[in-house]
């Protein structure tokens, strides 16, 4: 029994060391939680129990989507980030068309920004970490304008000139 005592002591010590930081690793950092300003949006028109779908809006997203200068910046980023490679100039190609009002993951500026930021299955890459949030919103504002028209006061260049959602 005495010859196993050192091994038993080492095993107990190893378990104690391994368990010391497990509580800190499991708890999310509250600073990280408060900095996440991305709105919660539903990707499909379904909700558990027939309840309301989640559809938060973003003041930053709306501000950029309604500012013609920001939408123009989004148009330039759309070309620079090679969105035209898959979506052409909004008419679609390998990726879906962006000029109609048929949206797989929602056509609000918040849904579009979420698709750009997170990517989508079957080909849409995530641009999280490649584009700062303001540029994600600018591209989302431009893409939104392809279907819903440019904001008032703009010089044109968007899709249909209808307002609304």
Q: Convert 46-69 to b/e letters by CB count within 10 Å (16 or more is b).
A: eeeeeeeeeeeebebbeebbbbbe
Q: What is the pLDDT of residue 138?
A: 95
Q: What is the pLDDT of residue 45?
A: 61
Q: Is residue 121 part of a domain?
A: yes
Kind plus residue range of the DSSP H or E element containing 25: helix 22-26
**Considering its fold, how many domains does the chain have in total?**
1
Residue 2 confidence (pLDDT) above 70: no
Q: Is residue 66 part of a domain?
A: yes
What pTM value is reported for the model?
A: 0.64
Region of poorest pLDDT, from 68-72, 81-85, 153-157: 153-157
Residue 162 confidence (pLDDT) above 60: no
What percent of the chain has pLDDT above 90?
Answer: 26
Q: Between these two residues, 39 and 161, which has the higher pLDDT value?
A: 39
Q: Which of 57, 37, 33 is nearest to 134 (CA)?
A: 37
Q: Is residue 9 part of a domain?
A: no
Q: Is residue 157 part of a domain?
A: no
Q: How far is CA 74 from the centre of its chain?
A: 15
Tallying the residues shown for the chain, one arrives at: 165
Q: What is the pLDDT of residue 46?
A: 57
Return all residues near 61 (Cβ < 8 A) that are at least 6 apart: 39, 109, 110, 113, 137, 140, 141
Q: Is residue 5 part of a domain?
A: no
Q: Write out 73-113 in H/E/C secondary structure.
A: HHHHHHHHCCCHHHHCCCCCCCCCCCCCCCCCCCCCHHHHH
Residue 159 confidence (pLDDT) above 50: no
Whichever domain contains 125, its CATH number is: 1.10.760.10
Q: Is residue 98 part of a domain?
A: yes
Q: Is residue 69 part of a domain?
A: yes
Q: What is the pLDDT of residue 42?
A: 61
Q: Is residue 144 part of a domain?
A: yes
* Domain limits for position 110: 59-148
Return all residues near 144 (Cβ < 8 A) that are at least 6 apart: 65, 107, 108, 109, 112
Mean pLDDT estimate for the chain: 75
Q: What is the pLDDT of residue 49?
A: 67
Residue 135 confidence (pLDDT) above 90: yes
> Mean of the pLDDT values across residues 102-127?
89
């Amino acid at each position: 029994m005495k010859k196993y005592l050192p091994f038993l002591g080492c095993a107990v010590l190893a378990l104690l060391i391994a368990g010391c930081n497990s509580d800190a690793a499991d708890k999310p950092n509250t600073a990280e939680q408060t900095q996440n300003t991305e709105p919660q949006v539903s990707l499909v028109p379904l909700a558990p129990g027939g309840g309301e779908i989640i559809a938060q809006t973003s003041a930053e997203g709306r501000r950029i989507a309604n500012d013609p200068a920001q939408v123009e910046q989004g148009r330039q980023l759309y070309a620079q980030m090679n969105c035209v490679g898959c979506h052409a100039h909004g008419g679609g190609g390998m990726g879906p068309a962006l000029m109609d009002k048929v949206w797989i993951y929602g056509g609000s500026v918040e849904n579009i920004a979420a698709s750009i930021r997170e990517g989508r299955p079957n080909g849409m890459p995530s641009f999280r970490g490649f584009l700062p949030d303001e540029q994600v919103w600018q591209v989302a504002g431009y893409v939104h304008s392809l279907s819903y028209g440019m904001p008032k006061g703009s010089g044109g260049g968007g899709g249909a000139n209808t307002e609304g959602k």
